[in-house]
């Protein structure tokens, strides 16, 4: 059973999961020969038996579970740092605390195509990926043993992707992660002082100023945060106040979110020549009643530099590019992408296509 250990001084939790040390490293070969990697890739169609049985798949009618025919497939992570067990135990070891790492780790395979890099996937497929996020999020949100669900994506080896085949991950855990406690505390302070959501206020301010806004459609705004930690740190935030990603409106917000995500990934891919990156979705803890003050969002951080001694020692990031400059660069890229994808206007009046509206107030 994987363990969580608590640091006596800071209260920080660390997941100790030694089974992950045995994780196969497919990457050293993958860089040289993707065909060989595909032969042994557990996420490729035909290799379904190499993973634990699927917990969700969108697949062609008439195809059996754990066989080819799927276009998105979700399986438990074979090398899970957290495990769903009926009874988690706390243990004390002298002054030290340890508890069983209760939770779920899942792999959400983006596409049956081993080489279909996520930034270049068609919009329809990105919508299906987002649907799988929503379906699995909602599934875990009902589990009373869990406190928090995080969906994330690692792109490229320097960003921690251990298998070449594109996939997202989901962690459903039995504690509220520390980075959240900081965000929640800040959101609560702001709400107490101003009786409004700090994220809604930020969105309004950013849209008015415009300098850090990269793209917006009818339901989402993509922008560089004022205090971006790294060059090209990018956030995607719903315009509707909503604390939980699980409440994403599938009819209206899902296509808009998929569009914002796809254009952002494509803009980075084209503009920076396929940089490694991480993104994760911050959503309200499952049990805390923070619906009036928290606001879910996606944070994307390209891996363009490595956190070194200063960052590790102080927690202060050094960003060598102004967020306004990286926003302007990405905005230009994404405008080009969106214009190409939109094609000519659908009718003679030249009315803009809904969802393709871009900011021109630069
Ligand atoms: Zn594969
Ligand atoms: Zn809000
Ligand atoms: Zn956040």
> Would the pLDDT of 223 be above 60?
yes
How distant is the alpha carbon of residue 167 from its chain centre?
11
pLDDT, position 100:
77
pLDDT in tens, 336-345: 888 877 766 5
Does the pLDDT value for residue 149 go beyond 70? yes
- Rounded Cα–Cα distance for residues 337 and 222 (Å): 15
CA pseudo-torsion sign 282, 165, 266, 154:
positive
197-219 residue pLDDT tens? 999 999 999 999 999 999 999 99
- CA 248 / ligand 2 centre spacing (Å): 14
Surrounding residues of ion ligand 1, Cβ less than 5 A: 41, 43-44, 114, 165
Q: How far is the CA of 196 from the centre of ligand 2 (A)?
A: 8
Q: Which has more confidence, 177 or 25?
A: 177
CA of 283 to the centre of ligand 3 (A): 8
Which one from 140, 148, 165, 167 is the annotated catalytic residue?
A: 167
Tell me if residue 165 is catalytic. no
Distance 293 CA to ligand 2 centre (A): 6
Question: What pTM was estimated for this model as a whole?
Answer: 0.86
Query: How large is the average pLDDT for residues 231-259?
Result: 97
Ligand nearest the Cα atom of residue 50: 1
CA atoms within a 13 Å half-sphere pointing along the CA-CB vector of 125: 19
Least confident of 19-28, 106-115, 151-160, 263-272: 19-28
pLDDT classification of 125: cutoffs 50, 70, 90: very high
Q: Which residues pair with 103 in a beta bridge?
A: 173
C-alpha angle 222-223-227 in degrees, rounded to nearest 5: 150
How confident is the model over 270-282, as pLDDT tens digits? 999 999 999 999 9
Nearest to 97 by CA among 219, 14, 212: 14
Q: What is the whole-number distance in angstroms between the Cα of residue 79 and the centre of ligand 1?
A: 17
CA–centroid distance, residue 213 to ligand 2 (Å): 17
Q: At what angle do helices 323-342 and 253-272 cross, to 10 degrees?
A: 110
Ligand nearest to the CA of 281: 3
User: What are the structural domains of the chain?
Assistant: 3-175 (3.30.428.10), 179-342 (3.30.428.10)
What separation in Å is there between the alpha carbon of 300 and the centre of ligand 3? 10
Tell me which ligand sits closest to the C-alpha of residue 203.
Answer: 2
Q: What backbone phi and psi angles, to 5 degrees, belong to 273?
A: 60, 55
Which one, of 131, 127, 126, 140, lies nearest residue 170 by Cα?
A: 140
Closest-lying ligand to the alpha carbon of 164? 1
Q: Which ligand is nearest to the CA of 200?
A: 2
| C-beta neighbour count of 99 within 10 angstroms | 17
Q: What is the CA radius of gyration of the chain?
A: 21
292 C-alpha to ligand 2 centroid (Å): 7
| Cα 130 to averaged position of ligand 1 atoms, centre (Å) | 20
């Amino acid at each position: 059973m994987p363990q969580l250990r608590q640091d006596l001084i800071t209260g920080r939790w660390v997941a100790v999961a030694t089974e992950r040390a045995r994780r196969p490293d497919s990457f050293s070969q993958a860089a040289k020969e993707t065909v060989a990697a595909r032969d042994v890739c557990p996420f490729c169609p035909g290799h379904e038996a190499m993973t634990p049985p699927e917990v969700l798949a969108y697949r062609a009618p008439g195809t059996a579970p754990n066989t080819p025919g799927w276009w998105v497939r979700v399986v438990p992570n074979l090398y899970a740092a957290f495990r769903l067990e009926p009874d988690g135990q706390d243990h004390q070891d002298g002054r030290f605390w340890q508890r069983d790492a209760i939770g779920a780790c899942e792999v959400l395979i983006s596409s049956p195509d081993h080489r279909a890099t996520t930034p270049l996937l068609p919009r329809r497929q990105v919508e299906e990926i987002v649907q799988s996020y929503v379906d699995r999020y909602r599934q875990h949100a009902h589990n009373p043993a869990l406190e928090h669900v995080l969906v994330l994506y690692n792109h490229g080896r320097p960003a921690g992707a251990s298998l070449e085949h594109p996939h997202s991950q989901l962690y459903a855990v039995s504690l509220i992660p520390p980075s959240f406690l900081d965000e929640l505390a800040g959101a609560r302070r702001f709400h107490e002082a101003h009786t409004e959501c700090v994220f809604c206020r930020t969105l309004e301010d950013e849209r008015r100023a415009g300098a850090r806004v990269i793209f917006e459609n009818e339901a989402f705004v993509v922008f560089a945060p004022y205090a971006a930690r790294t060059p090209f740190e990018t956030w995607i935030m719903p315009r509707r106040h909503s604390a939980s990603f699980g409440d994403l409106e599938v009819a209206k917000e899902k296509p808009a979110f998929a569009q914002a995500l796809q254009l952002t990934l494509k803009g980075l891919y084209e503009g920076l020549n396929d940089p490694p990156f991480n993104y994760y979705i911050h959503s309200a803890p499952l049990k805390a009643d923070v619906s009036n003050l928290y606001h879910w969002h996606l944070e994307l951080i390209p891996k363009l530099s490595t956190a070194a001694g200063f960052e590790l020692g102080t927690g202060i990031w050094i960003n060598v590019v102004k967020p306004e400059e990286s926003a302007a660069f990405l905005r230009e890229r994404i405008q080009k992408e969106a214009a190409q994808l939109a094609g000519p206007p659908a009718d003679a009046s030249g009315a803009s296509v809904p969802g393709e509206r871009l900011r021109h107030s630069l």
